[in-house]
Structure 1
Amino acid sequence: MPFRRYPEIVWQCIGLFVLTGGLSLYSISLARATHTPTSLWLVDGVMVGVLTRRPLVQARSLLLAGFLGFVVAKQILGDPFLSSLLLGMVNMLEALMVSVAIRSRFPRITSSTRFLEVARVGLISALIACGLCTFGTALVLHFWPMREFLYSFNTLFRSHFLGMVIAGSTSLIVVTRDWRLSEPGGRPWRLIRDLLLLAVITVAVFSAKRFPLLFMVYPPLLLLVFRHRFAGLVIGMAIIALITTGATMLDVGPFNMVAGATADLRVMMAQVFIGVSCLVALPVVLALAEQDRLQARARDSELRYRMLADNSGDLVMRIQSNGDRQYVSPSVKELLGWEVEDFMVPRPDLIHPDDRERIADVVRSLRTHGGTVTATYRLQHKDGHYLWIEAFARLVASPDSDGSMDIIYTGRDVTQRVLAEQALVESQNHLRTIADNVPAVIARFDMSERYTYVNRFVEQVSGEIPAQMVGRTMKEVRGELIYERLKPYLKRAYAGESVMFEYEASYRGRLLQFQAHYVPDRDAEGRIRGLYALTTEITHIKNVERELLRLAHQDSLTGLSNRRYFNERVSSVLRQAAQLDKPVLLALVDIDNFKSINDSYGHATGDLVLAEVGQCLQRMVREGEVVARIGGDEFVVLCDNIIDENSAKAFVHSLWERLHMAVAVGAGNVEVRMSIGAVICKGNVSDDVLMKLADEALYMAKAAGRDTYQLLIRTLQGSESVERSVLQPGRVES
């Protein structure tokens, strides 16, 4: 259509221009034709409804349209142009003040708005705005003398305020479309019927010439309000206002029965009647609207709750004091397989036997103390298996208003969660069992070095109880001495380093050795929140290590050191002697004719002879000297405490003499003789050279007829060449 080419605001401005101009022309023309004051000034009230609906940004064009409509009407009636402009601006200011007050308190007016509050704000703002603006209008019309000004203000204020109340509330209701709210299920012809009844009674009242029957107007008006709410009020008050103002200005109606009443007095009485009628009906319709709003909200809340309950996966029930259900949500079918009818009566048989008594106690406690409770229990599915249900119940007053208390029950299936929690608990118990039986102390410390967990193995180590250790610091539990020993490793672990170390500590009178491993405990973001400590007692391991080391370095037959130990020691002894510039003596001892002893007396006797020789050598050596068995019947003696050549000769001779022995075998004795080859040297010399020289000296002793010794003295200048000679029973060569 052609008019659709223009924006909606354009047509609204045109319509408002026509409406305000027409109302202004009608009100002013009627007053001048009957030579009476204007009874109702409806223009500003109409503007309030329009401005309240639109944002304030669009109010300029609407105000301009209303202003132009008023000015054009005044010009058609032949009024002065300047006064028409001033009066138009005052009227628009009055409408703007009321609409701004309403919009600031209620940015958007809908069917859910509290109309009692809207009416309160509108009446107060209208009273203030009408007072200020009619004061300005009176100044424009009658600035002087004072008597005419006060008369004009009184007349204009009543007309403006009454018109604002009637037209403003009517237009506000119309633009917010609440006029459509009529009696639920009502039909248009019923509204028309009741409006005709009101019109007929009102015409009859104003047609009476002998009796004032104005009170007869209120019953049909209130009937309209009760049946049709705002539609009845708006149209009904419009009918009353039109009939009242028309009849009064035509000198018809009960107000003419007042003796000596002037036209101004009749207009004032008509205004009071219209205002009282509006004040009688408006609170009633607002109260009814508020009641309808609350009922609608209640219905909406009930509908929403039922929709949520009916479509929720949780089981929702309303349970009476006797156990009967007033409501069971359809989700019981999906959750438990039962029909709603199956759950409308108490079903304690569906509760798991192990949970029945506990749940009964919970229900009794809820009934006694009120409030809310949460319980988790097992409920039987229709198929026979049980589901874990988490139930939330609240005791509330029954909506039946009979003084009873109902339970609002909400239950959800938490089977998977409960099974996961049980699995987690079982896993934790398994881990705790494993941790408590691991042969090591497992502990966790927070950032303040306090124990947060200790396994039970600590009782076997230190006798301490884990529960008494938790919450205490390491320093309090381990003591000052051990803590200072462990403190550096703690700092490294708290700094983010994984630390492994060994230490010793005494517990219950025993010196124990431990191996500890400190590992930082980090959260999901990598921040250190403590540390774990794994401490293992390794005392028996250390003892085994020492025993293995002893066995690796000791000859099992004689108890002397073996060849491995001798080879490890000889290099260090030579190196130390060279650094101190001290001489070193090495003596090789060999049992003469040892093979014939084995052949003649047996290997047991040979072993006995070896053991006796070993014990004899062990008794002869001093601290720091090394004596070892390096072969079948070969022994070696290494000394680094020989002072000079003379002491070396004396030591070798004493060694040869003492090794002459008789070993008791059965009823007889075995005579044991020795051959000794010794070498003394000073300065840098290798262990191979030293052994070679001693072996050469032993060969010389055996070549000389055995049972003797040979001592080679290495020149102090380091030459490997020596002179040799043999003496009986022993000889020394230099």
Structure 2
Amino acid sequence: MLAKRDTHGLWPLFAAFALSGGLSLYALALARANHSPVALWLANGALVGWLVQRPLVRAWPVLLASFVGIFAAKLYLDDPLLQCLLLGACNVLETAIVCHVIQRRFPNITPDTRFTDLARVGVLAALAASLLCSLAMMCILNWWTQMDVLMVANTLFRAHFVGMVLSGSTSLVIVTPYLWRAPLARIGILARDLGMLAAITAGVLVEPRVPLVFLVYPPLLWLVFRHRFVGMVIGVAIIALGVSLATTLGIGPFNLVVGVTPAFRAVMGQVFIGVTCLVALPVALALSEQDRLRKQMQESELRYRLLADNSGDLVMRIRANGDRMYVSPSVKDLLGWEVDQFQRPRPDLIHPDDRERIAAEVVRLRMHGGTTTATYRLQHKDGHYLWIEAFARLVPSPDGDGAMDIIYTGRDVTERVRIEQALMESQSQLRTVTDNIPAVIARIDMNERYTYVNRYVEHVSGEVPAEIIGRTVHEVRGNALYDRLKPYLERAYAGHTVMFEYETTYRGKPMHFQCHYVPDRDAQGKVRGVYALTNEITHIKNTERELLRIAHQDSLTGLANRRYFSERVPAFLKQAQQHDIAVLLALVDIDNFKTINDTYGHAVGDVVLAEVGQCLQKLIREGEIVARIGGDEFVVLCNDINNIKQAQAFVQSLWERLHMTIDTGVAQVTVSMSVGAAICMNELSADAVMKFADDALYKAKEAGRDTYRFLAHGFGDNDGNDGNSGNEQIKLRRVQ
């Protein structure tokens, strides 16, 4: 019956049984052999990545196999039968809760999924499920009768929560191919970096005299920058396994605190593992989000290139022997060569460093067909090199001889490559800086005095730890910052774990921090101080703001882009309906813009677009929206037009003032516009308003361009259209 429920056979059930049982047996046997609590419970999260990709109603056989594995492990260790059944059920329920919450929010995890949101939902789900599971286990085992119940609950909860986060994220990465495919292409580099992290982790954990565990952060962050999620997940897993072994066996720096119980050592290890996740996860999420946005931008550019008609790009049809049967005239503007000079094969024009790579791409295309895209350097007739982005497709020859020709399209991307190189250089500098991301670790006693501060504080504030120890938080941080920190300190002294963010200025530089206050408890569970773990996240905040700006602004004109316009229009229309006012939308299209590009080149065309954008920006008023939504198409949206007559006057004024002669430095270009406008009342559909304006623009172009057309919608009989009836009446205002 189970085999019929699982389309892949019985192997997933055996795998779930072995995985859950093996991890459970490892954790329980290690803890009992050393008479310490379980430091890291990985069994529950190991199936999250597997099960979150399928509905739970179809995954119950795997959950049942996992339950049997945990039950068998505990039974093997001679636990009571009823206890084995109940605890196994609790663990399976914890896994099911996390999977269900993630599935409700993210039914399908795709390359377009925002991993920041996925991580937030996963962590919150793990937090809630671990808490419920821990409480249930305490009831089953009667642990509430023990004197150190809070320590036991704390250790049990942390073991499940940290283990769920680590094993759940690891399994999700393993079963999501697009998260690990690219890093595994560099398996040697990944193995080297992981080996370095493992060696450093082993070194700092076997050193029994000096607490050097913070030294694992630089190689971990290096893994995150080089290998993204794969580096973070495997790196944190290595550190977590090492820390859990060290705390369980009672060796290494976590054994430096004299007189603590094995349970308290497990808590210290769990806190360190949690801090490690907090250091690496925000960086990995920000970099992955940046990669996702960059990939979307590249895919959008490629689709636009393929759909562009009659562009000024270099277009060629190339035979198998290399002869160019067709070369577009744009080769003159692009590379300075005449068409007949470019007809024969010219591999000598390819930069020597790129020739072998491009030759291999051509051979691959000839052998396997399909398409290929390559960026390489091509020599201009003047002698300098241009970066060319080429798109090639293998197609049957139109000559009908059965041969296969290559259709080649190339465009100058020199400026873009320079920007990308500058960006790569900037990112390299950023990596150098963030290799030493500050993680300030301090301990504050019950009198609010620092008893320990690590040396990373020198990189943040310039203060020396010896000058801080013995002073109060108020004395070190000053009045303003202390007033913000005091409420969180009071909550930590009351026994609560507190996480918060704050912004302050050090040495004249504003900085943003994420702080984690953890109560320091003695063997009886009484709070005797606070551990403060502070990470600088200034660069992450700056990156988020920059990405938001790039996503909503057109880089050429400085105007809003189509995405920003599409996001604002629904709220704009809703506000207009609430206040019972009209909305005017005008589409502005540059007449014969392709002719300008073909005649003067794309650089002149870019100057024209920028000038038109600046002119439109000057014409609009506060509260109105102007955006570039296409190659040479702009849109103006306003809601302060009171009537049709005023709207028509505004459109006519807009059209008249957009007539201009632009000095491009190459030639004086006279520009005219076609404008299509629509004024609407009580219209909530952005698509409908755009359709009305687009119809008006079509009429303007149909009338010979250099004119405008105007539509009114939703004004009833008052708009003067006798030829329509009903509630939706439209009138065309024609310019004579």
TM-score bucket (shorter structure): 0.3 to 0.5
Task: Pick 1 or 2: higher relative contact order, CA cutoff 8 A, min separation 6.
Answer: 2
Tell me the TM-score normalized by structure 1.
0.45
> With structure 2 as the length reference, what TM-score do the two structures score?
0.45
Structure label with greater radius of gyration? 1
